[in-house]
Amino acid sequence: MSVFNQSRSTVIRFIIAGVFLIIVAQLVNLQLFSSKYEALAFNNAVYPKVRYPDRGIIYDRKGKAILNNTIMFDLEVTPSQIKGVDTNFLCKLVEIDTAEFKKRIVTAILKNGRYRPSIFEDLLTPEMHARLEENIYKFPGFALVERPVRVYPYNAAAHIMGYIGEADSGNIKRSSGFYRLGDYVGKTGLEAFYERVLMGKRGVEYMIKDNKNRLVGKYENGVYDTAALAGRNLRTYIDIELQQLAEKLMQGKVGAAVAIEPQTGGILSMVSGPNFDPNMLTGPNKQKNFNKLFLDVSSPLLNRAIKGQYPPGSTFKPLGALVALDEGIITPSFGVGCGGAYYGCSRPVKCTHKNAGHAANLRLAIANSCNSYFTHIYRLSVDAAKYKGVKNGYQKWKGYLNAFDLGVRVGVDLPSEDRGNVPDSSVYNKVYRNSWNSCTNLTLGIGQDMMLATPLQLANSMCIVANKGYYYTPHFVQKIDDETAADTIMNAFRIKHEPLTGISDDAYEAVISGMQDVVEIGTAKMARLPGINVCAKTGTAENYRVIEGKRTKLKDNSVFVCFAPRENPKIAIAVIVENAGYGGTWAGPIAALMMEKYLNDTLRTERLKEVERIAAANLLPDYLVREQYKADSTRAYNWFKMTKDSSVLQRFLKKEPKKDTAPAKGTTPAPKPDIRTTYLRLEAILPEHFYFTKPIQS
């Protein structure tokens, strides 16, 4: 028995050894052959906390910060720590009700869990922050957390500066992993164009987190941490006071104004109307404000200075002259006899002047803005014998315009610029089935036909005249702080473009004198400045717009270009005001005030009244009101259809209680015409043909 059982001790030893072997085998498997566990443990416990650098500051030409950083505060909540909080009091301070309070706490828990802080209210207004700061000790679990925010101290230059926003999937994809969710990137303007310069370098701080995702300390005492490198500052050509004045003058107007320093191509000011305060898109309520701006049919977010495309009209004439001069087709003494219209082709082109000799030479033709003269020299240019045919000649002529940066993107340092339009001969070939000649598009000579230009292009073309043949690509940024050779972004702005080589100084003087005459004796008398020789050209371009499916002629666009002083040009300006009539009516005075402000650094006191007069003028076209009503009511109806919530739609139906709430066509049905209701109602209720008294068939 005993002997028999003795062997069983060996069996027991083997059982123990067997189990231990299995355990060791599993340990070998886990610890020596599975590398994933190390990574899993690292991900479990180490949280790379991104340290955001300060974005670069943007300065104007006098060193004033026009886009700066400031600190705002978020109210954060850690749900697990809320105990004994006077909810009513907190709600009163944050201006919400208790139901909203509960909702936000639940959202915070769902988003980040109980143990990690989540944002309760972001970007507190200064007043709210002050109120909370005093009382925050009463609210355990709540904390005020700093958050860097962009601020525009002058409330100006919204379209130039742009704004930042959280990186979307497109930004992230394009950056091939550089940006991550939650990063802020420049969305438009200089913020977007100089993103790489302004954003600086992110730092990373490796933090240890525990099982509840609370950060409990630095990983390895921070040896792997990298510091954030602040973004570099931009020094621009902008004159912020000029910019503010220009913005004030463009109030209540649709259009744009651009001022450039001709010698450098530096943009002094760029305004697009309607405008908005850039601070609306930073800080509290930015989303609400953005939505409001986005839904406004007058498109305040659109930068018309680079995206608005207008027929340049008469303001093109000096350029047409330069092309003809450079080609050697005319001389300054070249003249035509004009009796009130150009009869060179079957369709006469009317001219505003009839008196004999108003186009006896180039200078007079410019001063009197003679249509006959410039259509004629256009035809001479494209039909010149040396080019053998109009198509070839036209391509040559178009080449000149492209060299002036007309019809191509100027290449300004703002994103999404439009190119305007100087059609290629192939376009005419297509439209006119290959049979066209210089008569077909002769109004190109006076800046019409298919020609379109942005205000920036017009201002740039003034620089060419002012500089007598050269220009630098218009741009805002003069210098990047700590610029290195790697900043190739600036190279394009330092190349001198010389599109004209064959023009004598005398010829330039003729053109420039003609433009000065426009100011002294012509249509731009309002632009005269005491002691300064101003050269200018007015333009009045016909304005068509497709409204409710019909091409409608609206009031002419007022166009004005100028530069000054004549002898040593410091500023070149282009102003376009839509629906404002003659170039001299509104665009001219605006340009005049801008020149005076910039050249004299101040305005004469008697001019201040003029500033107020222009600023107070509301030239927003009438159709906008109706467009807005249509857009709003359509949206309200779609909202009603989607959510069955008629509260928004009610506003549009108030006066017609009997009206069916479900119109057939997707838009709210136009209520019955009722002339006695208010002006706004009138806009809304009248069918188009009532409203637009003179419908124009194309």
Partner 1 sequence: MSARNADISKGIDWLLVGLYMILCAIGVLSIFGATYKEGENIIQSFTAFQTDYSKQFYFWILAMVVAIAILVTDSKFFTATANLWYAFGILLLLLVFPFHTEIKGTRSIIRFGGFQLQPADLCKVFVALALAKYLSRVETDFSKTRSQLIATAIALAPAIMSILQQETGLALVYFSFFLVMFREGLPAGILIIGFSFAVLVVATLLLDPNTLALILTGIALVAIYILRKQIKRKKQLLVTIVGIWMVCVGIQRFLVPYVFESVLQPYQVKRIYDTIGKDYVPAGGTVLLEEATPRKKDDGGDYNVKQSKIAIGSGGFAGKGLLKGTQTRYDFVPEQRTDFIFCTIGEGFGFVGSFLLMGVYFVLLMRIVTIAERQRSVFSRAYAYGVASVLFFHIAINICMTIGLAPVIGIPLPFISYGGTSLLTFTAALFILIRLDADRQMVLR
Q: Which residues bind partner 1 (CB under 8 A)?
A: 1, 4-6, 8-9, 11-13, 15-17, 19-20, 22-24, 26-28, 30-32, 34, 36-38, 40-42, 44-46, 208-212, 216-217
CA–CA separation, 166 and 21 (whole Å): 56
The total number of residues written for the chain in this structure? 698
At 375 the three-state DSSP class reads helix
- Which of 34, 28, 130 shows the shortest CA–CA distance to 75? 130
Measured distance CA(266)–CA(61) in Å, rounded? 10
**Whether the Cβ atoms of residue 202 and residue 215 lie closer than 8 Å to each other:** no
Distance (Å, whole) CA 22 – CA 16:
10
Tell me how crowded residue 454 is: count the other CB atoms within 10 A of its CB: 31
Tokens 């320093």 found at: 261
* Side-chain half-sphere CA neighbours of 646 within 13 A: 8
* Dist. CA 636–CA 633, nearest whole Å: 5
Per-residue DSSP letter, 315: G
User: CA-to-CA distance for 39 and 490, rounded, in angstroms?
Assistant: 44
Token digits of residue 406: 């007309």
CB contact at 8 A, 538 and 582: yes
Shortest CB 182 distance to partner 1, Å: 24
As measured in angstroms, the least distance from the Cβ of 14 to partner 1 is: 11
Q: Report the alpha-carbon distance of residue 151 to residue 69 in Å, rounded.
A: 6
What is the closest distance, in whole angstroms, from the C-beta atom of residue 218 to partner 1 in the complex? 11
Query: What one-character DSSP code corresponds to residue 663?
Result: -
∠ at Cα 413 (412, 414), nearest 5°? 95
Q: How far apart are CA 393 and CA 386, in angstroms?
A: 8
- Rounded to the nearest 5°, which phi and psi values hold at 68? -130, 175
Contacts of 28 (CB under 8 A, 6+ apart): none
Amino acid at 653: L
SS3 (DSSP) at 478? strand
Query: Strand 234-236 and strand 58-59: pairing?
Result: parallel
CB of 25 to partner 1, least distance (A): 10
First to last CA, the chain: 121
Q: Which is nearer to partner 1, 11 or 356 (CB)?
A: 11
Residue 5 beta carbon to partner 1: minimum distance, rounded to whole angstroms: 6
The nearer residue to partner 1, 78 or 243, going by C-beta atoms, is 78
> Tokens 């069996």, residue?
11
